[in-house]
Amino acid sequence: MDTHVHEDHGSHPGPKAYVLIGLILTIVTAVEIAVYYIEALDDWSTAIIVPLSMAKFLLVVMFYMHLKFDNRLLTAVFAACGLLAIAVIVSLVILFKVLPYQPLG
């Protein structure tokens, strides 16, 4: 007797969709590596690589971790924690890289 409760999480993508997502992730990774090695893009490399990395992260979370098909509350909790982490990182960058150093005393 099957005692598991199955909830309807919408239609999950098939193997073709996962292969397509894998190819997209591979291409984005190749672009990131190319941007890193192209010296003409040194000034812009962070501005290019960070959004590409964020897009890859979202694709992995949505499809391979199945967050896209889970309860919206779980998605909201995950998103809130992600936004908090981004806020902390941005705050630390501003604190240590943007604001001038002022010694005490």
For 10-36, the pLDDT digits (tens) are: 577 888 989 999 999 999 999 999 999
- Nearest 5°: phi and psi at 61? -65, -45
What does the block give as tokens for 6?
A: 């199955």
pTM comes to 0.67
Q: Are 52 and 32 in contact (CB under 8 A)?
A: yes
- Reported as a single tens digit per residue, the pLDDT across 38-54 is 999 989 998 999 899 98
Using DSSP, state whether 67 is helix, strand or coil. Answer: helix
**N-term to C-term CA, the chain:** 74
- Nearest 5°: phi and psi at 7? -100, 150
Residues 6+ apart with CB under 8 A from 45: 35, 36
